[in-house]
Amino acid sequence: MGTTPNSPGVYVDEVPSVGRTIAGVDTSVTAFVGRARCGPTDTPTPIKSFADYRRDFGGLWHDSTMSFAVHHFFVHGGTDAIIVRVANGATHSTSTLPAGEGSFQLRSATPGAWSRALRVAVDHQVDDGTDPAAFNLTVQLVDGPEQVTTGQAKPVVTEEFHNVSVDPDSSREVGTILALDSALVQVHGTVPEVRPDLTTAGGSPDVETPRDWVSGDGEGDDGSAITDAQISEARLESAGRGLWALDEVQQFNLLCIPPLSPNTDVGTTTLATAAGYCSERRAFLVIDPPRAWSDSAAAESGVESLRSDLGAARDHAALYFPWLRMRDPLGERRLTDRAPSGAVAGIIARTDASRGVWKAPAGVEATLRGVRGLTVDIDDAANGTLNQKGVNCLRSLDPHGPVVWGGRTLAGDDRRTSQWRYVPVRRLALFLEESVDRGTRWAAFEPNGQPLWAELRASIDAFLDDLFQQGAFQGQAASDAYFVKVDSETTTQQDIDLGIVNIVIGFAPQRPAEFVILEFQQSAGQNDDA
């Protein structure tokens, strides 16, 4: 006891906990890689809602299958997403402002045709009227490129930067301020020594009244439809672009790569690369079926090739078939077909939150919201055949409507007895690996002996026991559900000399009840009184 009592009374000592707590990591942070109307390219951007996506990436766009996938994700229960925008030849718009004998250039913060609707204005009505380097800058995104130079243009977004300076030693240096605070423009090239000229007469203009504006050069362009090269080409890895932009992210759990365009599927090379990347990152890939799979027979034959292309990483991926038939919010609510990966990822997130990562994201609770039908109707016989080959079917079941009706990985072919056949078993293992990895990093550089081993055992055992109480494992007792072994058998003297601690963990996962057998016995009408 740390306190020395010197008079009668009650003394309180705070005693540190003996064990160290392992916290479970997130399970349903979903990364999307694809085309968007605007936003940073090859830069992972976390969002919490579709309103965030609309603000940062421009919202729904017919040329962006990713925009619809992200929308479906949040509609179906997703809460955390990471967006990686890739582009194929998209360009910026540049605005050039006179600055004495030179010029001051501003470039759109991100590429795309959206940047044609940017305009800027400058006034010199600054707080310190004697500072010849200071000025005020107003940047507007208006309602259309054709309106950018008119006084009647309707501003969509307005940014105002007061008392910025071309002085490189100023705390309000314009390049630094725009880099930190502007979502619309950045300084392009060098900042001139002279501040930009006035673009309007008579001091600081009222943003609600007509003024003289400087528009961009009109060069902003969306580029061409993306290809696999913008996502998985090998040269992108060293540059941290495309799929490998996610290297900057500490953790993501699910990965969706929606179709490259409304009529172009993601290539199998990209899917194989993505599955391998998920294997490295303890993540799981949700795959859309090719548009050409117009019936169950096509899916049955096509999945064999896909499984082969994915190789050993197929246990880190699941395929969902067919596409969804939904109302098009951009096309007068007409029915259109959409890839299912975003909706399925949302259902996975919803299931994780309500039931746990060990629950299969399938069944009558896994309803597809806003879906008016499916592009292929799958009956029980076709479902049975596809299920045995590791294809997760989406079905319309009365009275529940469209639901996810399968929970297998692409290693779930019945002819191959993989221990990672089921999606929840694979994802539970990934969850355990990541949680224990992060929760035991404190052990680095601790004395490698019995006290450390005992503390590791206690910490991991407490974590697994909590999961057992929640129903994550099989078994009537904890001893039947899991074990943790860290001792002189797992860590030899040679390991100790090398600075290694070996931890062995075993667990008995709950497997989905795919086949519920009902047995009926007809009574012969016996009378209990007989």
Q: Indicate the SS3 state at residue 476.
A: coil
User: pLDDT value at position 461?
Assistant: 96
Closest CA to 429 of 458, 459, 409: 409
Note the pLDDT tens digit of each residue in 299-328: 999 999 999 999 999 999 999 999 999 999
User: How high is the pLDDT of residue 191?
Assistant: 96
Residue 200: predicted pLDDT: 65
The answer to which of 206-220, 330-344, 365-379, 412-426 has the lowest mean pLDDT is: 206-220
Mean local confidence (pLDDT), 77-84: 98
Instruction: Give the pLDDT of residue 255.
Output: 98
Which pTM was predicted?
Answer: 0.91
Question: In the prediction, which pLDDT does 399 show?
Answer: 92
Residue % of the chain over a pLDDT of 90 = 83
CATH number belonging to domain 30-88+228-424: 3.40.50.11780
Q: Nearest-CA neighbor of 318 among 226, 221, 410? A: 410
How would you class 301 by CB atoms within 10 Å of its CB: exposed for 0-12, middle for 13-18, buried for 19 or more?
Answer: exposed
Here the tokens at position 14 are 């705070």
- Check residue 437 and give its pLDDT: 96
The pair of structure tokens assigned to 373 is 């039908």
Whole-angstrom distance between the N-terminal and C-terminal Cα of the chain?
A: 77
List pLDDT tens digits, range 379-430. Answer: 999 999 999 999 999 999 999 999 999 999 999 887 777 899 999 999 999 9
Token pair, residue 461, equals: 């055992």
121, β-bridge pairs: 138
Identity of the amino acid at 415: R
Structure tokens, 391: 């294809």
Least Cα distance to 92 among 56, 52, 38 occurs for: 38
- Work out the mean pLDDT of the chain and round it to a whole number: 92
Q: How does pLDDT run across 139-196, given as a tens digit for each residue? A: 999 987 666 666 566 788 999 999 999 999 999 999 999 999 999 999 999 999 999 9
Domain with CATH 2.60.40.4290 in the chain: 94-215
Structure tokens at 516: 């519920």
Rounded to the nearest 10 degrees, the angle between the axes of helix 65-75 and helix 50-57 is: 160
Between the alpha carbon of residue 113 and those of residues 68, 196, 219, 461, the distances in Å are 19, 26, 8, 56
Distance CA 102, CA 234 (A): 42
Whether the CB-CB separation of 97 and 214 falls below 8 Å is answered with: yes
- Contact yes or no for 42/241 (Cβ under 8 A): yes
pLDDT tens digit sequence for 196-219: 999 864 444 444 444 578 999 989
Closest alpha carbon to 121 in 154, 88, 158, 85: 158
Q: How confident is the model at residue 530 (pLDDT cuts 50, 70, 90)?
A: very low
Query: In this predicted structure, what is the pLDDT of residue 143?
Result: 83
Cα(267)–Cα(310) distance, integer angstroms: 11
pLDDT for residue 416: 74
Q: Which of left, alpha, beta for 475 (phi over 0: left; psi -120 to 50: alpha)?
A: left
Helix then strand then coil, in percent of the chain rounded to 5, is: 30, 20, 50
What is d(CA 120, CA 206) in angstroms, rounded to the nearest whole number? Answer: 13
Looking at domain 94-215, its CATH architecture is Sandwich (2.60)
The beta strand positions in 305-400, using DSSP E, are 317-321, 324-327, 335-338, 371-374, 391-397
Average pLDDT over residues 439-460: 95
Please name the residue that has the structure tokens 């199998």.
268
Name the DSSP letter for residue 493.
Answer: H
pLDDT digits (tens, 9 = 90+) for 470-527: 999 999 999 999 999 999 999 999 999 999 999 999 999 998 887 777 788 877 765 5
Least confident window among 37-41, 148-152, 229-233, 319-323: 148-152
Cα–Cα distances in Å, from 294 out to 20, 291, 299, 303, 306? 54, 7, 8, 13, 16
**Four-residue CA torsion sign, 218, 219, 224, 226:** negative
- Distance of alpha carbon 319 from alpha carbon 227, whole angstroms: 21
**Which residues have C-beta within 8 Å of that of residue 294, sequence separation ≥ 6?**
375, 376
Q: Can you tell me the distance from the alpha carbon of 140 to that of 200, in angstroms, rounded to the nearest whole number?
A: 15
In whole angstroms, give the CA distance from residue 226 to residue 264: 9
pLDDT for position 516: 73
Q: What single-letter DSSP state applies at residue 154?
A: -
Question: Do residues 30 and 285 touch, judged by C-beta distance below 8 A?
Answer: no
